[in-house]
Amino acid sequence: MLKIIIFLVLFLCSNFNYAQNQLQDSIVQKYVINCAKKYNYNYQMSEWQNCLNNGLKSDSTVAYLWQQKAMPYFKARKYDVGMQYLNKAVQYDALEWQPYRAFIKCIFAKTYRESIVDFEDCIKKFGNGYSMEHRYSFYIGLCYLQLNEYEKAEKIFKEYNDDLFKNRQGLEHPTALFYYGIAKYELKKWDEAIVLFDKALAIYPNFSDVIYYKAICLARLGSKEEDIKALLTSAREDAKLGYTINEDNTIYEIYPYQIRWGF
């Protein structure tokens, strides 16, 4: 009898969840796809937000609606405004949106200690998953770089790059190698930094930021002035052609240690 009751409860819960998901999908279709997406939030923000607000009147627990309210504000650098909405998205679907919030704190809002706390909590609850093509630990290392805690950053990027090399050969990432090299650079391990920069350049030969920091390391090691100038000229020319950190969100934010050239 107990087994039958448990089965019925599970069956009813499953049907309820299915119905709830179907309802929320229809709300997203109506208020995001068929409404908000018809506007450009860069110059029609009020129309975009009105669509989402109407959707939330139908069901305030749809996490995606809250995230869509938040997203344009981050791109407009209105971080505090966006974060209040993103927090609501995390409240209703932490698995989907907490890693995204931690990413926003790292790359956009630049609240590095808060980002570390968020990512560490994500790892604890969900494992070391991915946000924007990198594992959560990558961003923790990036935060430590920005907090001048270089030894911690070095350790994290070593583990991160060792995992890519040993367990996922062919997926080594030049940006991950670049930041590992930057940790070495900040620790004045010039020779070790150059080795990592060269590995990054073997994957992405025109990576202007890497070439720039390699030149600085060589200068600190006393290399010939003409060799250093040649590298800096190469870095500048590659940067003019757009060869810089190739993360998707560089169109919105300057990434840590990304060089801004005066051209």
Q: In this structure, are residues 135 and 175 in contact, taking their beta carbons and an 8 Å threshold?
A: no
The amino acid that residue 191 corresponds to is D
Q: Using 50, 70 and 90 to split pLDDT, how confident is the model at 17?
A: low
Q: In this structure, are residues 191 and 224 in contact, taking their beta carbons and an 8 Å threshold?
A: no
Q: In this structure, are residues 55 and 30 in contact, taking their beta carbons and an 8 Å threshold?
A: yes
Give the pLDDT confidence score for residue 16 in this predicted structure.
43
Q: What mean pLDDT is predicted for residues 36-58? A: 97
Q: Using 50, 70 and 90 to split pLDDT, how confident is the model at 19?
A: low
Cα(first)–Cα(last) distance of the chain, in Å?
Answer: 78
Give the pLDDT confidence score for residue 23 in this predicted structure.
83
Let me know how long the chain is: 263
Q: What mean pLDDT is predicted for residues 49-64? A: 97
Of the candidates 259, 203, 255, 253, the one whose C-alpha atom is nearest the C-alpha of residue 231 is 259
Q: Which CATH superfamily is domain 151-263 in?
A: Tetratricopeptide repeat domain (1.25.40.10)
pLDDT digits (tens, 9 = 90+) for 190-239: 999 999 999 999 999 999 999 999 999 999 999 999 999 999 999 999 99
Q: Using 50, 70 and 90 to split pLDDT, how confident is the model at 1?
A: low
pLDDT digits (tens, 9 = 90+) for 57-112: 999 999 999 999 999 999 999 999 999 999 999 999 999 999 999 999 999 999 99
CB-neighbour burial class of residue 14 (10 A; exposed 0-12, middle 13-18, buried 19+): exposed
Looking at every residue in the chain, the average pLDDT score rounds to 92
Share of the chain above pLDDT 70, in %: 90
Q: In this structure, are residues 232 and 217 in contact, taking their beta carbons and an 8 Å threshold?
A: no
Hey, which bits of the chain come out as E strands? 130-131, 134-135
CA distance 237 to 239: 5
The more confidently predicted of residues 45 and 14 is: 45
- Residue 101 backbone dihedrals phi, psi, to 5 degrees: -65, -45
Give the pLDDT confidence score for residue 12 in this predicted structure.
43
> In a 3-state reduction of DSSP, which class is residue 142?
helix
Q: How far is CA 244 from the centre of its chain?
A: 16
Say what the pTM is: 0.89
Of the candidates 92, 97, 29, the one whose C-alpha atom is nearest the C-alpha of residue 62 is 92
pLDDT digits (tens, 9 = 90+) for 160-173: 999 887 766 666 79
Q: Is the pLDDT of residue 10 over 60?
A: no
Give the pLDDT confidence score for residue 20 in this predicted structure.
59
Q: In this structure, are residues 128 and 135 in contact, taking their beta carbons and an 8 Å threshold?
A: yes
Residues 42-47: contacts with CB within 8 Å, 24+ apart?
Answer: 42/72, 45/72
pLDDT digits (tens, 9 = 90+) for 135-145: 999 999 999 99
